[in-house]
Amino acid sequence: MTEWGNALVELTLAYLPPLPRSPLKAGPETGPEEVLFFSMISSLPAIPTARNLLDLTPDQARKALVEWVAEHGLPSYRAGQILRRLWQAPVESWKQATDLPAALRAELDQVFPLPRLAADTIQQSGDGTRKFLWGLTDGEAIESVLIPSGSRRTLCISSQAGCALKCSFCATGRMGFRRNLTPFEITGQVREIVLHNPEEKPTNIVFMGMGEPLLNWPSVDAALSILNHPDGLGIGARHITVSTVGILPGMEAFARRPEQFRLAISLHAPTSSQRLTMMPIEKKYGLESVLKAAEAFRKRVTFEYVMIGGVNDSEADADQLGRLARRLGALVNILPLHPGGAPDLTPTTANRIRAFSERLRNQGVEAVVRRSRGLDINAACGQLRVEVEKKRGAEKSVSGKRDSTRSSSRTQ
């Protein structure tokens, strides 16, 4: 652990129990007799099937609860009380919802169990940035990064396990695509933080963790509703940013949402030929078509621009980027390359980044150089999972033990 430096505290939390399985689902531990039994009873009604309310938008969850409460002859106000416990005043389990009668809580446990994300690893950087590695029930792992800044707490969340895009500078791209996240697995990253400490509820959300959100639109669509809805997490739409390389069908669907959500385009290069060397997606959705789709968004967009020495940081690059930004009225977010994401690439020097952003400003473009946060904890996209898996691999080959990282002790 000393490699992380003294400023870093690594906590490894206890694993949470796996989700209860639906009583009608035959799983790997189900014997042939049970399968036979289940198929015999499957025609009978009134066997409750567990349902994950946290995967539903607040409107869908309210509808499901109103129906369920009516079917059970409960007073109608119970639906609102139960709904509040999903996102607004969340509970770890129904046992904690002490405003509800004990018998109802026991029933809710069976019918609507509340799943969790397992906090496998939490890393605290010297600059206050905190990085979480969440374990999912199928063994996948995803990351979130909480970045405090004054009264703002921005949470960077993942939308996929792994990523198919293979951008040259990105650690997640290296691990390849694993699977899409469900709406709950996306919004659960926020819920877990609120459960841990309601005072730390994020004020801003950016979809800049693992994965490409617009390649998982159905889940991201539902997640946006959960994040923004007053019966959900109630985070203002202007405080929620979806970041994309420019997946055109997803951009069109996102533009149709009526709320004022923000769009960030990972541009990273001012010309198509340069972009192609960094981002294979350029072949499918070229720079010009992405810019056109961003214009159709009709709200101010942000360009993200990661600065890589000798690749995209010349004066000519600044001038061409300036032209594109002026055309769209876009804000440019300049990101110093996080070295952990791309050991074979060189970050642009601080002096050069300053000159580059000055040159943009001289063209009338609003350009902000983002401070590199959490440098000591590999806070760029995908790096913690890569690091943990590397350690696991090394420990496995030494001791033959499984999951040794998860049981590592607290270090300071």
Residues designated as active site: 143, 381
Residue 385's alpha-carbon distances to 62, 169, 368, in angstroms, are 36, 16, 28
Torsion 28-29-30-33 (CA) sign: positive
Please identify, using beta-carbon distances, which residue of 112 and 207 lies nearer to ligand SAH.
207
For 124, the token pair is 């605290």
Residue nearest to ligand SAH as judged by C-beta position:
341
Indicate whether 169 belongs to the interface with ligand SAH (CB under 6 A): yes
- Per rule CB under 6 A, is residue 143 in the interface with ligand SAH? no
Of 82, 97, 193, 208, the one binding ligand SAH by CB under 6 A: 208
337 binds ligand SAH (CB under 6 A): yes
**Touching ligand SAH, residues 9-28 (CB under 6 A):** none
**Of these, 57, 180, 244, 348, which contacts ligand SAH (CB under 6 A)?**
244
Q: Which helix (H) or strand (E) holds 307?
A: strand 301-307
Of 116, 178, 338, 385, the one binding ligand SAH by CB under 6 A: 338
Q: From the CB of 173, what's the least distance to ligand SAH, in Å?
A: 8
Give the distance from CA 339 to its chain's centroid: 21
Smallest separation, CB 378 to ligand SAH (Å): 10
Q: Widest CA span of the chain, in angstroms?
A: 75
Q: Which 8-state DSSP code applies to residue 136?
A: P
- Whose tokens are 């970050």? That residue is 347
Report in angstroms how near the CB of residue 152 gets to ligand SAH at its nearest: 18
Q: Does 381 bind ligand SAH (CB under 6 A)?
A: yes
Sites for ligand SAH among residues 296-335 (CB under 6 A): 304, 306, 335
Distance of closest approach, residue 337 Cβ to ligand SAH, in angstroms? 5
Structure tokens belonging to residue 118: 């397992």
Nearer of residues 208 and 235 to ligand SAH, judged by Cβ: 208
Cβ proximity to ligand SAH, 114 vs 251, nearer residue: 251
Is residue 376 close enough to count as binding ligand SAH by CB under 6 A? no
In contact, 300 and 264? CB cutoff 8 Å? no
Nearer to ligand SAH by Cβ, of 78 and 338: the residue is: 338
Residue 114 Cα distances to 52, 108, 156, 304, angstroms: 7, 9, 23, 36
Residues 287, 291, 293, 299, Cα dihedral to 10°: 150
Check residue 411 and report its DSSP letter. Answer: B
Q: Which two tokens stand for residue 123?
A: 């890393």
Degrees (nearest 5) of the Cα angle 211, 2, 168? 30
| Nearest distance, CB of residue 163 and ligand SAH, angstroms | 6
**Residues binding ligand SAH (CB under 6 A):** 169-170, 208, 212, 243-245, 266, 304, 306, 335, 337-338, 341-342, 380-381
